[in-house]
Amino acid sequence: MAIDQTLRLLARARGLTTAEIATAIPRAGVATVAAWMRGEKTPAREQLDALARTFGVPVGALLAELASTFDPARTKGEHDLLEAYRRLGTRQQGALLEVARAMAAGKRGGK
């Protein structure tokens, strides 16, 4: 999940407004926090630490998606596939996994 989506979900779960979040973050006004939540800007390290404390989560929970984009082992196709997978419904995800597993098994069998 992208950091903007994570921030929106955490804010909703904690019942915090953009203004309330901004008061807890150093050098971040309401407009900046709103831009983070729209995905237009990314918080700096110090601000990420403050966001994590505000929401009561580890910083890694905020950065999981961002960190995965730096994984040198993943190709562009893998990133695209993961993004598409996440947009599917649960049943569609299951079907896609079945197809992928069947294709992988066929490849191992020498096909």
Residue 34 amino acid letter: A
Q: Could you report the per-residue pLDDT of 2-52, keeping only the tens digit for each?
A: 888 889 989 998 999 999 999 999 888 999 999 999 999 989 889 999 999
Angle between helix axes 45-55 and 59-68 (nearest 10 degrees) is 130
| Cα distance between residue 28 and residue 2, in whole Å | 20
80-90 pLDDT tens trace? 787 788 888 89
Cα-based distances in Å from 69 to 35, 48, 81, 87, 101: 21, 17, 13, 17, 24
Q: Which CATH superfamily is domain 3-68 in?
A: lambda repressor-like DNA-binding domains (1.10.260.40)
Output the CA torsion 15→58→3→67 (10° steps): -170
List the domain boundaries for the chain: 3-68, 76-108
Grade residue 73 by pLDDT with cuts at 50, 70 and 90.
low
For residues 59 and 50, is the Cβ–Cβ distance under 8 A?
Answer: no
